[in-house]
Structure formats: C-alpha cells, structure tokens
Structure 1
Amino acid sequence: MATGEEAQGKAPLLEPSQGAGTSSSLQTLGNIVVSIVGTGILGLPFAFKVAGWLPGSLGVAIVGLSMHYTMNLLVRCRSRLEADGSMDVLTFGDLAEKALGMPGRYLTETLVLISQSGGSVAYLIFIGQNLSSLFKFYSLDFSLFIFLLVPIEIALSWIRSLSSLAPFSAFADLCNVLAMAIVVREDLQLFSGFSNAKAITTLKALPFAGGVAVFCFEGFSMTLALEASMVQRENFYRILSLAFSGITLVYIIFGFFGYLAYGDQTRDIITLNLTNSWSAMAVKIGLCVGLTFTFPIMMHPIHEILEKKMREVGWVKKVCNDVDRGERIGVYMLRSVMVLVLAIIASFVPGFGAFISLVGSTVCALLSYVLPSLFHMRLLGSDLSLRRKVLDGFILVLGLVFAGYGTLSALSTS
C-alpha cells in the first residue's frame, strides 16, 4: 500500500487518485500521447501495403474518429454516475461493474489483461526481431534475444513505485521520438512518387489494416485515469480532441510514406527495411532501449489486476496481514512469472503484423467499441435521444462484426 506522499508522486495516467487531479492541460496532452502511441505505429506501413494506401489512410482516420467518440462515452458514463453520487469509479473495471455487475467487471478486466499482455508481447517481438536483424550474420533466432531480455525486465518489474520509473520513461520517450524522426527522414529520401505503391489492393484486406489501426490506439483502457488526473477535468474533451487529431495525422503520414518508400518490399516492422548503416543501427538500438524501459509501464495494469486478485485469496490475505515480507515476496514472484510467460508467448509468434492485427481485431475492438457503447446505453439509456441510441447500437454491432471478421482476416494473412 502506497503512502500518501508516494501516491502523489506517481504518474497520474496510471495511478488516478480519488481526490483532485494534479495534471495541467499540457501534462494531460502529453500523457494521452504517451499512453496511446506505441509499437503499433511501426506496423502501419505494412498495413498500408496489405490494404493499399487509400484504404489504409481512410481506415486510420475512421478508427481515430470513432475511438475518440467512444472514449468520450466512458467519460460521460462516469460523469453521470458521479452526478448520482457514485464517486468510486476509478477504472474501466469499476465502470463495468456499475453498468453490468460483477460479471461485467470480470469480463472487462479479463479483456484489459489480454490487451495489455498483447501490447507487452508486441514490445518483446519488436525488440527480439530488431536485435536479430542487427546480428543477422550470426544467424541468431529472435527468441534468443527475447529470453536474454527477461532478467532485465524482471528486475524492472520489481520497481513497485511508478515515480521511480519516471526517469526511465522520459528516456524511453526521447529514444522513441528520435528514432521515429530518423525513420521518417529515410522514408522521405527513398520516396520516388506513387509508381511503386497501390492505392487499393483488395477490400478483403481492409479488416486486417483496421485491426492494426485499432491496436495503434492501445492506451484506450487508460481513459478514465487520464481524465481523473486533470486539475480542470472539464477541459478533457478539448484536450482529447487535440491529441487525437495530431496522433491520427501522424499515423497516416507515417504509414503513407513508409509504404511509398518501400512498396511491396515493406516489412511488418518498418525498421527491418532499414539498411545496417550507422543511422539505421542507431534507430533500432534506440527503439529497443526505449521499449525495454517502457515495458514495465505497459505491464503495470496487468500487475495491478493480478495482485488485487491475489490478495483476495484467503490464505494469501492471511499471510499478507501477518507478514509484510510475505506479500512482497508474493508480488515479486507473480511479476517474475508474468514476464517469463509473456516472453515464452512472444517467442512463438510468427509475425509482428499479423499478431498486432489479431489483438486489435479482437480484444481491442471489444474494449474500444463494444463495451463503451454498451455501458453508455445501460447507464444513460433513458436520457438518450433516438439518434444516440441508434449510433450506440450501430457501433456495438459493428464492433462485434469487426472482431469476428477481423480475426479471420488476421489469421488468414499470417
């Protein structure tokens, strides 16, 4: 249990407090960008190759617009509950319990676990494949680099205070920004017009590209924490609109020029297209270092949910009450096992692009579209206009259809 002083020092986007928020509008804007932008952006050029640059661009724009809408639905649901006197809705799971009872909480937390685990596995795949490409002359399998990384990630996972991870996070963000800037520069240098790029390949590939696009907005489950972290929560809608406009535009530009630079040779991770020049090596190493230190933050929601469940077990609760050291040892062991399990899963994943499309098409689609619209109809249904009810119902059904068809598309593409 964190002390009051420690809790105040933790990252607001991951540790919302029940009191007033402390983040300014500018800080919240940065937190939204950090929580949403991840490894998925590096798979966007491949998605554009699969579907074509026109469906790819439209798909990212539609996903960004619709996800912005559903994030607002979550905030509206909590605002209604707070107006009715429920001030204890801090997480996605809390909101699910209010809307659907305990089964809703269990379903939502399970989906969050799978979604965050998918993002963590994607980090490990990316690091393993990029390090393997740097040492390709030695014919080392990418899974070897993943397992070499496990001790480092376990040690980082033992840091229980997020404020202690803040310097690592800042360094990781700097590495990511610089590396992506170099990738865009190299793309522009290779750009030679539209001759090697197809506007549309096949409409059957659109769900695959859509799954990648949904995965790119991977910080969806942090919506309520981000809004609660603000000093002036009424500004959240405006800040969210600004952040999504910028992120969506960057995604389209990155995917568009990445595909146009390499055409049909575009790899599922765009950095694998880079030659082993010094600048390319710096990009790969920088991104790998950045993601290594970002991995514990991606794992944090997983640890929170599992450790809460662990403490609810009878014999564990007794040990924790009797011996504080026993709780710490249990937490360390659970975190170590989770890192190892995800590393094993990552070592068996055949392709980065197919994997992130699969995760985006299934759990991310359910979290981003189906559940928010369902919560909105359950909690505000009597006050909604017919147009709102129809729109929520449309998003819910479309999310279910997309999850089913997108899953088949991702599996067939792999």
Structure 2
Amino acid sequence: MFDVFRLASPGGQPLQQPPEFDASFDPHKHRKVPHPTSYGETMTHMLKACFGAGMLAMPNAFARLGLIFGIVGIIFLGVFATYCIQILVLGQYQICKKWRVGYMSYPKSMRLAVQSGPPCLRWSAAIFENAVDGILLFWQIGVCAIFLVFVAENLKQVCLYAGHELSLRVLICCLYPILVIICLVKDLKLLAPLSTFANGCTIIGLVLIFFYLVEDDVQVDESHFALKSLTDIPIFIGIVLYALEAVGVILALEYNMDNPADFTGLFGLFSIGMSIIVLIYTALGVCGYLKYGMDSKASITLNLPQDQKKSHAAKMAFTLAVFSSFPLQNFVAWQILWQNYLEKKYKGTKKEKVADYGLRILCTTIPFVMALIAPALGPFIGLIGSFCLSMVAILFPAVVDISVWYPDKYGPGKYKLFTDIFIIIFGIFCCCSGVYTSLLEMVETLSK
C-alpha cells in the first residue's frame, strides 16, 4: 500500500509557504515505501502496462500512414511521450526538494508548481489540481472497463470455436469474482509475479501472431511507402499515444521503486523500457501492414484465420495478458481515491481495513457495472482516452515544467520554455483531433 509523505506542518496543517530551501535535501532518501519494487520488478510492471490491447492496433495505424511515415511517426511519438513523462517526474522531484518532502502526488505537485509559476497561471492552481485528479481517475476506471470488455469478447470467440455460445454479459459476470479477489492484493510487489505471467502470455501471443505474419513471402511495392491521407494523421497519433501512454501506472511505479533515481535519465529505466516498447510496436506494425495491407483491422487478431487453433491460442494468450493487467490499472484508481479522500479519515482507526477493502471492491465493481451495462465501450473509451491522455500525459507535464523553472531557469536561450510551449500546442492538437476522430467513430458505430 502507498504511504506517501503528507504536505503538512508538524501540527498537521497544510503548509502555506515552503520551508527554507536546502540544496542537499534528496526526496528519494526520505520516501517511506513498505515494500519497494526492484529494478527488474519495476521494468516488468512497466512492460505489462504498455503491452495491452493498444499494441494490437499497430498494423492498422501503419496502414494509415505507410511504412516510412509510420516508422518515423512512431519513433517521434515514442521519444515525445518519454520526454513528457520525464519532465513530469523531474518536475515533481524539484517540487519535493523545494518543500522538503519525500513524495508528493501528481495533483498536489501540479497545484504547488502552478502556484509558484508564471503569475498568469497562479489563479488556476486549484483547478489544475482537481483536473488532474478527476481525469486520472476517470481514465483508469475507463481503461479497466474496456479491458473487461476486451477479455469477454475474446473469450466469447474462443468459446464459440469450441462449440459453446455464451453472451458477453454472462462472461463478464463470471470474470467479476476473480477480479475482486485479485484486486484485494495490497502492494505492487505482490503483483510482480502476475505481471511476469502476463508478459509471458504477451510473448506467446506475439510469437503466434508473428508466425502468421512471416509464414508467406511479402511483396513490397510503392503503395506501402505512400502517405495515404492527411486526415489519417490524427487517427495515427491517437492510436499510438493510446498504446504508449500509461501515465497513472508509470507514476505509481516510480513511487514504489527501490531506487527512484534509476527511473529517469537518458539511460534510465523508463527510457530503456520505452525503447523496447517502441521497437516491438514498430516490428508488429511493419510486419502486420506488409501482410494485410489496407485490410489491417483495428486489432491484428481480427485478421487471423478464424478456423485454426493457433489463431485462437493467440487470442487466448492476449486475453490472459490483458486480464492480468486489470489489477495493475485498478490499483491506480484505488490509490487516487484512498490517498485523497479516505486515508486521512480512516488511517489508524478500527475501520481502516473495512474502508480499504471496501474501496478496492468498489474500484472493481464500477468498471464491471460499466461493462455490464454497455459491453461495447470501445468508441466511448476512445473518446475519453483521447481527451484524458492529451491532458495528463502531454499538456499538464509541460505546464509543470514551465512553472517549476520559472522565472529564469529555462536554460540557454530559454530552450525549455519554447519546448514546453511546443508540447502544449501539440497536446491541444492531439486532444482536439483525437476527440473529433473518436466522435466520428462513435457516430459510425451507432449508425451501424
């Protein structure tokens, strides 16, 4: 369980002014994590967080831009996403150093950064704090719901192949008790074996998929390299960012790491992990597009033969992988609600365990109910994801970076300031274009 430092004075009241600055203070040495995760365990969790259903859409993304623009685009977005999370983590470190605390949550660090940033932003500090909290929670619950639907849909196809026809809602109800039990696990260290199992299933699924992708000779012509349409660029960006970004889980992993200093940097854990992820995404996108061309569907598993055992084995492998990642995503939703609303009230009381376990069950039940009511949440979650990720993983980190280094620490030529302004503009473009394209998909889905 998380046990973050509270931003409070010795009397328990929130601090109004930062203490006297101490350059020797290292927040990493003042964290209190009961069960910290090792470098290997953190890397395992990170890979599992990013190897999900979004990865299976890479061939479809490449079909929209072609090979050259697709490869350049995914590398650019990978570097871009990595940089945004890096400046967020480093910004939080500077804020903790300023206030002399071991750790501070994303919403609180956002508020304090804006309060000490450019005067034109200071009035909105509380708005930014509440926005981060609400968007992160909304995103994590939505991800859990779509994961549950993804698992149920794949199980339905596998069961149908085996001669048993079951409805999505029946399968969702069967999955619910198992998820409740798994989501009662209290810390990420105990979830590491589950992530290892999920990564193993992902590897098996990828091997089976690549078996189909490379079994026949592929003919490459000029059409594979041409940019299809400018209107497909926002869709490509949305697909790749959805697959790459897992900001809530990433921040939770950085907090729980045994040596957080190893997380950031050019050769830090996060950069190495993202390099592995981008490499695998690129290979899957290129091979899938060369195999199926413009017929590449939203998930590469939909292109696989429906009458062969190997294709259903691949579906089952990814089903187990996504199912195993549900507790990790759900853990972040629990963390937001527990730390911000319940911990202060129930910590150290007789009702602490009841409140803790009750909240964990509630965080599992809400996405279960969402999936049960509407077991076709794809377009809706796509709309939520386009908005949420553009905000918490692109726009807000740039605002934190601008505020942390204000007024005169932007580096030579104020390169940090201009970089952050570019990130904000690009984030607004991603948000608007992603929401627009998701709305078009929703209209198309509903019309059918």
Match status 1:408 vs 2:436: yes
Match of 1:294 among 312, 325, 341: 325
Structure 1, 369-378 or 181-190: larger mean CA deviation = 181-190
User: Which residue number corresponds to residue 272 of structure 2?
Assistant: 242
Unaligned runs of 5+ in 2: 5-28, 115-124, 443-448
Question: 2:87 maps to which residue?
Answer: 73
Per-residue Cα deviation, 1:265-321 (whole angstroms, up to 9, x for no partner): 3221111222232222221112212222221111111112223455279xxx47993
Query: Are the equivalent residues in 2 in contact too, given 1:127–1:291 (CA < 8 A)?
Result: yes
Q: CA 1:30/1:284 → structure 2, altered by over 3 Å: closer, same or farther?
A: same
Counterparts of residues 187-266 of structure 1 (less than 5 Å): 187-190=213-216, 192-195=218-221, 197=224, 199-228=226-255, 229-231=257-259, 233=261, 236-237=264-265, 238-239=267-268, 240-266=270-296
Indicate the residue corresponding to 1:7 in structure 2. Answer: none
Counterpart contact for 1:176–1:287, Cα < 8 Å: yes
Task: Using the aligned pairs only, state the percent identity.
Answer: 22
Distance 1:201 1:111, change over 3 A: same
Distance of 1:310 and 1:56 partners within structure 2: 43
Partner of 1:166: 192
Q: Is the 8 A contact 2:140 2:248 kept in 1?
A: no
Q: Which has the larger displacement, 215-224 or 104-113?
A: 215-224
Structure 1 residue 41, shift from structure 2 partner: 0.4
Q: Is the 8 A contact 2:156 2:168 kept in 1?
A: yes
Per-residue deviation, residues 373-408 of structure 1 (Å, max 9, x unmatched): 000101112211322211101111220122012210
TM-score where L is the length of structure 1: 0.84
Residue 103 of structure 1: how far off its partner (Å): 3.0
Distance verdict in 2 for CA 1:209–1:170, change over 3 Å: same
- 1:8 aligns with none
The residue type equivalent to 2:331 in the other structure is H
Q: 2: distance between equivalents of 1:339 and 1:235?
A: 31
Q: Judging changes above 3 Å, is the alpha-carbon distance between structure 1 residues 23 and 305 closer, same or farther for their aligned structure 2 residues?
A: closer
Q: Which moves more between the two structures, 384-393 or 301-310?
A: 301-310
Q: C-alpha separation between the residues in 1 aligned to 2:350 and 2:381?
A: 43
Contact 2:141 2:363 in 1 (8 A): no
Map Cα deviations across residues 172-198 of structure 1 (whole Å, 9 max, x no partner). Answer: 221111111221221112452235856
Distance 1:403 1:345, change over 3 A: farther
The residue aligned with 1:89 is: 103
Q: Residue 203 of structure 1 aligns to a residue in which SS?
A: coil
Q: Which has the higher helix share?
A: 1
What is the distance in 2 between the residues matched to 1:191 and 1:360?
Answer: 37
Aligned partner (choices 141, 149, 154) of residue 180 of structure 2: 154
Of the candidates 377, 383, 396, which is equivalent to residue 371 of structure 1? 396
Worse-superposed segment, 370-379 or 286-295 = 286-295
Of the candidates 416, 420, 426, which is equivalent to residue 388 of structure 1?
416
Matched residue SS, 2:185: coil
SS class of match (1:348): coil
User: What is the Cα deviation at residue 236 of structure 1?
Assistant: 2.9
Return the TM-score normalized by structure 2.
0.78
Per mean C-alpha deviation after superposition, the further-off stretch among 234-243 and 101-110 is 234-243
Q: Distance in 2 between matches of 1:108 and 1:322?
A: 31
CA contact (8 A) 1:126 1:269 kept: no
Q: Which entry has the higher C-alpha Rg, 1 or 2?
A: 2
Tell me how far 1:80 sits from its aligned partner. Answer: 2.0
1:354-385 superposed Cα distances (whole Å, 9 cap, x missing partner): 56653442111111210000001011122113
Q: 1:191 to 1:302 in 2, by over 3 A?
A: farther
The amino acid that maps onto 1:403 is: C
Q: Which residue of 1 aligns with 2:313?
A: 282
CA gap of 1:159–1:24, structure 2 versus 1, over 3 A, is closer
Structure-2 change in CA distance of 1:198 and 1:122 (3 Å): farther
Q: CA deviation at 1:99?
A: 1.8
CA shift at 1:224, angstroms?
A: 4.0
Of 14, 18, 24 in structure 1, the residue corresponding to residue 31 of structure 2 is: 18
2:203 corresponds in structure 1 to 177
In 1, are the aligned partners of 2:147 and 2:326 still within 8 Å (CA)? yes
State which drifts further: 21-30 or 157-166.
21-30
Give, in whole Å, the separation in 2 of the partners of 1:115 and 1:278: 35
CA 1:387–1:327 in structure 2 vs 1: closer, same or farther (change >3 Å)? Answer: closer
Say if 1:129 and 1:142, in contact at 8 Å, map to a contact too: yes
Contact 1:117-1:342 within 8 A present in 2 as well: no
Q: Could you tell me whether the CA contact under 8 Å between 1:74 and 1:223 is conserved in 2?
A: no
SS in 2 for 1:268: coil
The residue matched to 2:406 in structure 1 has which SS? Answer: helix
Q: Give 1:381's aligned amino acid.
A: Y
Compute the displacement of 1:127 (Å): 1.4
Which residue number in structure 2 is paired with residue 121 of structure 1? 145
Runs of 5+ in structure 1 lacking a partner? 5-15
Partner Cα separation in structure 1 for residue 354 and residue 260 of structure 2 = 41
Cα RMSD (Å): 3.2
